[in-house]
A and B are shown apart, each in its own frame.
Chain A
Amino acid sequence: MTDITTEKARIGAPSAQPFINGFTEEGESLSPINSAESKAPLAGASAKSHSHGGGVGIPDSSRAGRLTSYNLADFKPLTGMEEDWRFTPLKRLRGLHTDALTGTAPEVLVTAPLGVLVETVDRNDKRIGSAAIPEDRVSANAWENFTEATVITVPAEAQVTDEISVLITGQGTEASAQHIVIEAKKFSKAVVVLDHQGTAVVSQNVEILVGDGADLTVISLQEWHDDSVHASSQQAKLGRDAKFKHIVVSLGGDLVRMTPSARFTATGAEVELLGLYFADAGQHLEQRLFVDHSVANCKSNVLYKGALQGKNAHTVWVGDVLIRKEAEGTDTYEANRNLVLTDGARADSVPNLEIETGLIEGAGHASATGRFDDEHLFYLMARGISEEVARRLVVRGFLNEIIQKIKVPALEERLTAAVERELAATNN
């Protein structure tokens, strides 16, 4: 297999220090998953479209050149050889990339404190499309097929202390489309939890608007049943001095593919993209994020941590961070750490940092995949700690770094318990 990489100004991790001595730095590696399905040329599948227009353009493997369009027809059928699909087992998408998504969308139940506006609107509502534009075929397919959308609005200057809970319950395995818009108006502050439960096969678009000076946290929790397939494009657009924290927690589902992105429209904004995933036997949990630094003096910080255990547990993390020419004074760091608990699991980790200007505060990335192996276990057990406790100790410690950053006590407790369950489920 050949791997075509177009290097712009990718820089290595500032210090070649893996987070655990002796841990390997996991580099880019082509997944064999889709290789048999097509002989299409690699890369170049994207087209230039700096304006949100879509259509034809110059092939470019830079993230800036990725095709974006509201029209499904603009995206070619997937072959699995596309740069952004090469790790995804398309056969397990259950038609999200090929079929009309006419199944019943997951039910949405919003519990919001007083003052927060919750509406169900049709697809012609003017807020649809205000923050996002599909970046891949599966997202465009949802855009083409959704019938109604949930719009959650946090009014200007509202300080909402209790979290806004959005319970999203799957309605079965028919391929479906879903659309959600979250808007935090200027100087407001709120936490929104997208809580995915049950069984669903769904492609979802979540548009997130963070107004000037607003402070918004969105937590997307995937605790689907094992037969679920979930593709979710969660795109955020940030105003001046806005603060946005996005947290992905993927635990359940057969295939979960999250593609969060953050775009800056004015200076002084900050994003923090966090993620925690725990894949067990047979699960495919993928996260591809994009931070688009297109204006000056914004900050981004990315940390995703994943644990894997069981045969054919597969996780993918791809972090695209683009610092455009005009984004002087940018400060960014992205890191992904994986902990492989058993043989037969695979973690792919690909940080992509593209820098088009030298006038930045800082930019760095790190990626490390470590194993919890027999020597770790021996060391802990030689101190009297039982195997079960040893394993928990390691995983809990590893994932806690993310859980502690959530800062919603009820949710932290729930996630800690969920991680314990994951450990208990496949452990013997």
Chain B
Amino acid sequence: MSTLEIKDLHVSIDTEQGTKEILKGVSLTIKTGETHAIMGPNGSGKSTLASTIAGHPRYNVTGGTITLDGEDVLAMSVDERARAGLFLAMQYPVEVPGVSMTNFLRTAKTAIDGEAPSLRHWTKDVKAAMAQLRIDADFTQRNVNEGFSGGEKKRVEILQLELFKPRFAILDETDSGLDVDALKVVSEGVNRAHAEGNMGTLLITHYTRILRYIKPDFVHVFVDGQVVEEGGPELADRLEEEGYDRYAKGAGAASIAAAAAAAQA
């Protein structure tokens, strides 16, 4: 049983116009076996939260803490965090020149496990995982994400999730850009990983659609760098009907505060 704990996290970025605060005090605790959905409108800071957990250098933590079973995650380098068991499925996976998928997957697995996987099993595992995610076998020969379609990139992120077996998976809009079939395939992948029982999941999404396939235990509504409402799966259904308008900035700080207070209660 592991715990990923985010406490009063404040994050800013440097822009040409100066420093901009994006996360304004985020607290969240995820335990092994739990699935938390974070939902929020565009620009609310969801990716910022995800990238900050993974350690992207662009984001400056100005306050708060992130700990993994009490260990200071913020003190770790990006690769150390991954080796500690954090996995970020990126909203926009980058193409990496010159590195074949085969080579990449094996190198990453070796780094995460601290030892090279047995070649025979590994090749078999990769093949099987790819087949389940309906990724063509010839993808292993291609360079990482190079020329992959949006949907293919997302599937390959989930492939890594299944192969690397992290303790906590942060999925940043893995559902966006997928058609219904692909959404099912990808969701099944996440559910398989979850079913092994050693993983907690932070599922970031803009839409409720994916929640038909991946059942969250908790739903957090994210607006303007803060969690403004929290609840169980039923909160997602309400969002489905009402949208985010209720939380719109124009609605005023008072109503957000009220909503937040209601969430606390």
A371-409 vs B: 1/0 string, CB under 8 Å? 010111011111111110100011111110000000000
Alpha-carbon separation in the docked complex, A375 to B58 (Å): 10
CB of B107 within 8 A of chain A?
yes
Other-chain residue from B79, B81, B103 in contact with A387 (beta carbon distance below 8 A): B79
B60-72 vs A: 1/0 string, CB under 8 Å? 0000000000000
CB distance from B229 to the nearest CB of A (A): 30
Segment at the interface with A among B18-26, B37-45, B93-101, B184-192: B93-101
B80-93 vs A: 1/0 string, CB under 8 Å? 01110000101001
Alpha-carbon separation in the docked complex, A395 to B103 (Å): 13
CB of A20 within 8 A of chain B?
yes
Other-chain residue from B57, B93, B100 in contact with A397 (beta carbon distance below 8 A): B100
Alpha-carbon separation in the docked complex, A379 to B96 (Å): 8
Which residue on chain B has the smallest CB distance to residue A307? B98
Alpha-carbon separation in the docked complex, A339 to B90 (Å): 24
A383 near B90 with CB under 8 A, answer no
CB of A21 within 8 A of chain B?
yes
B95 near A393 with CB under 8 A, answer no
Contacts of B78 in A (CB 8 A): 378, 381-382
Contacts of A372 in B (CB 8 A): 97
A383 near B96 with CB under 8 A, answer no
CB of A370 within 8 A of chain B?
yes
CB distance from B164 to the nearest CB of A (A): 7
CB of A22 within 8 A of chain B?
yes
CB distance from B11 to the nearest CB of A (A): 16
Contacts of A380 in B (CB 8 A): 96, 99, 104, 108
Among A375, A382, A385, find the residue whose CB has the most chain B CB atoms closer than 10 A. Answer: A382
A398 near B96 with CB under 8 A, answer no
Which residue on chain A has the smallest CB distance to residue B99? A397
A381 near B77 with CB under 8 A, answer yes
Alpha-carbon separation in the docked complex, A374 to B59 (Å): 13
CB of B211 within 8 A of chain A?
no
CB of B226 within 8 A of chain A?
no
B95 near A22 with CB under 8 A, answer yes
Contacts of B143 in A (CB 8 A): 20, 397
Alpha-carbon separation in the docked complex, A298 to B108 (Å): 45
Other-chain residue from B55, B98, B146, B160 in contact with A383 (beta carbon distance below 8 A): B160
Which residue on chain B has the smallest CB distance to residue A380? B96
A384 near B104 with CB under 8 A, answer no
A386 near B94 with CB under 8 A, answer no
B77 near A389 with CB under 8 A, answer no
CB distance from B34 to the nearest CB of A (A): 22
A397 near B98 with CB under 8 A, answer yes
Alpha-carbon separation in the docked complex, A399 to B103 (Å): 14
Contacts of B81 in A (CB 8 A): 382
Which residue on chain A has the smallest CB distance to residue B54? A382
Alpha-carbon separation in the docked complex, A416 to B214 (Å): 46
Contacts of A23 in B (CB 8 A): 97
Contacts of A385 in B (CB 8 A): 79, 82, 107-108, 111
Contacts of B104 in A (CB 8 A): 380, 383, 393
CB of B112 within 8 A of chain A?
yes
CB of B56 within 8 A of chain A?
yes
CB of B147 within 8 A of chain A?
yes
Among B77, B81, B111, find the residue whose CB has the most chain A CB atoms closer than 10 A. Answer: B111
CB distance from A403 to the nearest CB of B (A): 12
Contacts of A20 in B (CB 8 A): 95, 97, 143, 146
Which residue on chain B has the smallest CB distance to residue A399? B98
Alpha-carbon separation in the docked complex, A410 to B111 (Å): 29
Contact flag A389-B146 (CB < 8 Å), given A384-B79, A384-B112:
no
Alpha-carbon separation in the docked complex, A389 to B106 (Å): 12
The 12 listed contacts between A and B (C-beta, < 8 Å) are: A20-B97, A376-B94, A383-B82, A384-B79, A384-B108, A386-B79, A387-B79, A389-B107, A389-B111, A393-B103, A393-B107, A398-B97
- Chain B residues with a Cβ under 8 A of chain A: 54-57, 77-79, 81-83, 88, 90, 93-100, 103-104, 107-108, 111-112, 143-144, 146-147, 160, 164
Given contacts A339-B97, A382-B54, A399-B98, 6 further A-B contacts (CB under 8 A): A378-B56, A380-B104, A383-B104, A394-B99, A397-B98, A398-B97
Q: Which 8 A-B pairs have the closest CB atoms?
A: A398-B98, A397-B98, A384-B82, A384-B111, A383-B108, A381-B78, A384-B112, A381-B79
